[in-house]
Amino acid sequence: MLRSRDLSPTGAITTWLRPDEWQLLLNARPNVLLEGPDEATEAIVCEAMGWLPTPHATWSGSPPRGNRPATLVVRSIAAFDRDQQHSLFDWLEGPGDRVQVISTTSEPLYPLVSRGAFLANLYYRLNVLLLDIATAGRSGG
pLDDT at 35 over 70: yes
Q: What is the pLDDT of residues 56-84, one digit of tens each?
A: 899 988 889 888 898 999 999 999 999 99
Q: What is the pLDDT of residues 100-121, one digit of tens each?
A: 999 999 999 999 999 999 999 9
pTM above 0.85, yes or no: no
Superfamily of domain 18-132: P-loop containing nucleotide triphosphate hydrolases (3.40.50.300)
Print the SS3 string covering the chain.
Answer: CEECCCCCCCCCCCCEECHHHHHHHHHHCCCEEEECCHHHHHHHHHHHHCCCCCCEEECCCCCCCCCCCCEEEECCHHHCCHHHHHHHHHHHHCCCCCCEEEEEECCCHHHHHHHCCCCHHHHHHHCCEEEECCCCCCCCC
**pLDDT on residue 20:** 73
37 confidence band (pLDDT: 50, 70, 90): very high
